[in-house]
Amino acid sequence: MKHWQETSRVLQLLARLVEQGRSAALATVVHVEGSAYRHPGARMLVDDSGALTGTVSGGCLEADVREIALSVIRDGVPQLLHYDTSDDAAPWGFGLGCYGAVDIFVQRATTPEFLETFRKMMPLLEGDAAFAVSTIVRGPSGLGRSVIVEKNGPPICSTGDANLDRMIAAAASDVLDERVSQIRDLAKHRVFTDVQMPPPSLLVIGAGEDTRPLVDFAKDVGFRVTVVDHRPQYLSASHYPSGTRLVKARADSDPLDLPLGPRAYAIVKTHSLEHDREWVGRLLASDVPYIGVLGSRARIDDVLRELGAEENDRVFGPMGIDLGADGPEQIAVSVVAELLAVVAGREPRHLRARVSAIHAG
């Protein structure tokens, strides 16, 4: 979910640089072994002044990647970098003690071929459908060129080789099914397929002062946020981050123009028992997998009892992770942490208690 948001931000910045006649390089994590801070698909844009947008590690590799990116801007030759973050003696060994290895592909982001791909990606990032971008990162031809693939659709853009395009599109369709960005070897080419999954929606029902930090944090981690309230004076765009959708509605509004499917999550916090009950009832009739409710356990139990939904495991109330939170900001951290765990299918716990790798499924 964060991946989609970061890609959009990087490409929006690239558009501004292109308008100014400036150059940039894009560094993309394409493969990870062992422990690493970022997943495949993480991106960092380096402009011709050396300014960075995005990250490819936790700060360990950025300086070196920046210097290489500046050289790629100058000479136009893409590079596939390998970093061993544990071994001082290995090539690119940094002795960081992270016990992992990272491959990063660096390419000039202002070539005609890249800009064609960029222009085709932008409208897809405004939509709601998953897609993949497959880029040649090593091989005898087409280095740095990309093919965009929508599920069961024809290849968009080209590597310059129609047969290779068809092979890449078929492989990318399989990768889309797996939903995991990855490297594959195809006809003497190494191809990185970056899966772009649209972010889930978050409905925040009730637009009080305590809604602001909740929306801020949810937007920051990648949710598409809609704030709902029946009081227009509470729905001020100046209170929320850019891109937050504001909807004036009640639970009994019909039609209710809100995302209420399996990739939407909802929080009910109207501070009114009657409105909470109405909204929880409306949401229970939908496919929303998470209905977080603010308030005490006794209050929420009363709501669920009146709705005949005492045993419904989609309702999280009181909502949030048990952090001992106090105040709107800490409660927002607690709630967003719970949302991330639900989206990832994880049971919240201390990472030190986890035996397998942090990012393993």
pLDDT more than 70, % of the chain: 95
Average pLDDT (150-160) is: 90
For the chain, what is the domain count? 3
Q: 229-247 burial by CB neighbour count: b if 16+ within 10 A, else e?
A: bbeeebbeeeebeeebbbb
Does 285 share its domain with 163? no
Domain membership of residue 116 (yes or no) is: no
For residue 54, the cross-strand partners are: 44
| Final residue belonging to a domain, choices 198, 213, 228 | 198
What's the CA gap between 361 and 359, in Å, rounded? 6
Of 35, 78, 39, give the one whose Cα is nearest residue 56.
39
Q: What would the pLDDT profile of 126-140 be if each residue is shown by its tens digit? A: 999 999 999 999 999
What's the CA gap between 44 and 28, in Å, rounded? 7
Phi, psi of 65 (to 5 degrees): -60, -35
Task: Check residue 84 and give its pLDDT.
Answer: 86
pLDDT at 97 over 50: no
Does 217 share its domain with 314? yes
Confidence band, pLDDT 50/70/90 cuts, at residue 60:
confident
Domain membership of residue 360 (yes or no) is: no
Domain membership of residue 150 (yes or no) is: yes
Kindly report the CATH number assigned to the domain that includes residue 264.
Answer: 3.40.50.720
Q: What is the mean pLDDT of the chain?
A: 92
Domain membership of residue 120 (yes or no) is: no
pLDDT more than 90, % of the chain: 83
Phi, psi of 191 (to 5 degrees): -120, 125
Task: Check residue 98 and give its pLDDT.
Answer: 59
pLDDT at 119 over 70: yes
pLDDT at 232 over 70: yes
| Final residue belonging to a domain, choices 154, 179, 198 | 198
Q: What would the pLDDT profile of 237-272 be if each residue is shown by its tens digit? A: 999 999 999 999 999 998 888 999 999 999 999 999
Domain membership of residue 287 (yes or no) is: yes
User: In terms of residue numbers, what domain contains 58?
Assistant: 1-110
Confidence band, pLDDT 50/70/90 cuts, at residue 356:
confident
What's the CA gap between 25 and 231, in Å, rounded? 47
Task: Check residue 92 and give its pLDDT.
Answer: 43
Does 226 share its domain with 305? yes
* Prediction pTM value: 0.86
What's the CA gap between 89 and 85, in Å, rounded? 11
